[in-house]
Structure 1
Amino acid sequence: MTTPSLELGLRGTHVLVTGGAGLIGRVVVDHFVAAGAKVSSLDINHAPAERPSSCTLIHCDVADEESVRTAFERATTANGPVEVCVALASLDLSVLQHSPFADASFDQLKRLLDVNVGGTWLTAREWLRGLRQARAQGMALSNVSLIIIGSESGHFGERLSADYSLGKSAVQGGLLMSLRQEVVREWPGARANAVAPGPVDTDRWTQECKDNPEQYYLEAQATTALGQPVPPDSVAKTVLFLASTNFSSHIHGQVINVDGGKQGKVVWTKEEVAEW
């Protein structure tokens, strides 16, 4: 009887992560480095001195077509064709202006769509172009996988931030469903999946909860079965699981929710109900 392998099998695999300098991105990058992958971290704002030599840092604005093309070119020169691509870069809720839909900013919507939807689209396209070239050259690749980082907001919506939920729905919905049919035509066995985290317990989340004590209850307890925010390493480990062909070879075109059993959003607070 053959002993089953419980290794991730990511050692030596070239993994590219967009948004690699962010609060979640850094954790994802560190986990891939720990797994022995060759990592290219793309971000618009890097702090290079903190990174191990096994991680290649590349400046990239994912909303700019030429910037994405150049960044992938640099990553490929440094580490070979991109096998695993993690499309994480996006504008998150903490940097957006929140307002009732009737007062929402059209300029903010256009910027968010450029980064969160357009940036993911450009990233996925460049990854596929690299696979096409590698296949034409007869190269052998392993763990060929795209992981899109979505959000619970893509399922449940966001009152006061419809633009954000719209963007996340687009990438973990229509884009993912289209890519699951496309990627296998460029590389047989290639896979595309999404991870949709709930509220992630980053330093920024902690500060937001200090500024608004009700946020912890409303977002991480009232509608979440586990009653707590998601540790960043839980998101990272799910990404590694999806990246590993050894562990997830036939998971394709799926959205994996890492949200502690999120059931939805609180629609009316007690204070709002009291004003009826």
Structure 2
Amino acid sequence: MERKRIAVAGASGLIGGALVRSLTADGHEVVRLVRRAARGGHEVCWDPGGRYVDTAGLDGCDAVVNLAGAGVGDRRWTAARRKEIHDSRVLGTAALAEAVAALDRPPRVFVNGSAIGFYGETGDRIVDEDAPAGRGFLAELCVEWEAAAAPAREAGVRTVFARTGLVVARGGGAWQRLFPLFGAGLGGRMGDGRQYWSYIALHDEVAALRHLLAREDLSGPFNLTAPQPLTNREITAAMGRVLNRPTFFAVPQAVLRTALGELAGEVLGSQRVVPRRLLESGFAFAFPGIEDTIRAA
């Protein structure tokens, strides 16, 4: 990809930070969206809650990537936390999409974060990008999240939705909590372990985002997950093999529901999601298997 000027919202997060490092290492100019006064030309002030963006700072950008949003698994889902999770995604996306649409020189592409939570509970049924939206808080959130990008799409900007699965990394997400437990020999399956987890290595997540940025023929939803989702029981066994630790412990459903509240439903839920459109576009995974993914992390 030739040198570009790319604006990134959520640049301090796990995925956003890794994307910024990758783009910068290859010589691209990265403009970070920040929620304070901008310090120089490589920052743009915005207020996602107030739907404000300093559009002058986006002028001349070739691409805008929105990965901003409050952490889904950080805390219990109180009413206030639900609102924060919702508004940080929906209002933030609307603010950026409206800003992009208002530019005299709009970017060529708007890549907006989303999640495989879009599909809801799928059991052992394999789903790809053609599957309809599911039910529940996260599914309904993802529908609103993607719909909020409409102003950019209607303005003729190529719009892509990156429906990301469980990112395997030591620095954030679910695996940030799992690695210490398994390393101490305290890891084990959650519930009965038969629920499918659709994972992706952080390296492949970033590579996929860059693939979507570069390919001008790609738009719409793309699942960012490894080609073969596995059950929690299979992933637990792989963690034990890679870390050379026992995996005897199991967390009963009742304990998870007491500790996590409604969030336990997402941990115990099953999503067998495959990246059909990403594979059809020619994307090659560096870490398609779970053991290599864990080692990469």
TM-score if structure 1 supplies the norm length? 0.65
Who is 1:223 aligned against?
A: 196
Query: Using the alignment, how far apart are the partners of 1:272 and 1:94 within structure 2?
Result: 17
| CA RMSD across the alignment | 3.7
**Could you say which structure has the higher strand fraction?**
2
Letter of the structure 1 residue corresponding to residue 105 of structure 2: A
Q: Percent identity?
A: 13
Contact kept, 8 Å, 2:101 with 2:151, in 1: the verdict is no
Structure 1: tracts of 5 or more residues without a match: 1-7, 99-104, 136-142, 185-189
Who is 2:24 aligned against?
A: 33
Contact kept, 8 Å, 1:183 with 1:191, in 2: the verdict is no
1:20 CA displacement: 0.4
Contact kept, 8 Å, 1:224 with 1:260, in 2: the verdict is no
Deviations along 1:11-63, whole A, 9 cap, x unmatched? 0x2210001011111111112223332210124489x9xxxx9x824454322
Aligned residues: 217
Give the 5 Å matches for 1:243-258. 243-244=213-214, 248-252=215-219, 254-258=220-224
Contact kept, 8 Å, 1:208 with 1:215, in 2: the verdict is no
Query: Using the alignment, how far apart are the partners of 1:217 and 1:262 within structure 2?
Result: 21
Contact kept, 8 Å, 1:15 with 1:86, in 2: the verdict is yes
Give the 5 Å matches for 1:89-128. 89-98=68-77, 105-128=78-101
1:14 and 2:10 aligned: no
Deviations along 1:216-245, whole A, 9 cap, x unmatched? 8999x95257xxx4222211111111111x
Who is 1:234 aligned against?
A: 204
Query: Using the alignment, how far apart are the partners of 1:237 and 1:217 within structure 2?
Result: 33
Query: Using the alignment, how far apart are the partners of 1:180 and 1:155 within structure 2?
Result: 24
Who is 1:134 aligned against?
A: 105
Contact kept, 8 Å, 2:32 with 2:44, in 1: the verdict is yes
Q: 1:81 to 1:218 in 2, by over 3 A?
A: farther
Letter of the structure 1 residue corresponding to residue 109 of structure 2: S
Deviations along 1:67-119, whole A, 9 cap, x unmatched? xx23x43x34xxx4222010110012232414xxxxxx333232222211111
3-state SS in 2 of match to 1:124: helix
Contact kept, 8 Å, 1:91 with 1:115, in 2: the verdict is yes
Query: Using the alignment, how far apart are the partners of 2:5 and 2:60 within structure 1?
Result: 7
3-state SS in 1 of match to 2:73: helix
Query: Using the alignment, how far apart are the partners of 1:167 and 1:112 within structure 2?
Result: 9
Who is 2:176 aligned against?
A: 207
Query: Using the alignment, how far apart are the partners of 1:192 and 1:165 within structure 2?
Result: 20
Who is 1:145 aligned against?
A: 109
Letter of the structure 2 residue corresponding to residue 207 of structure 1: Q
Letter of the structure 2 residue corresponding to residue 183 of structure 1: A
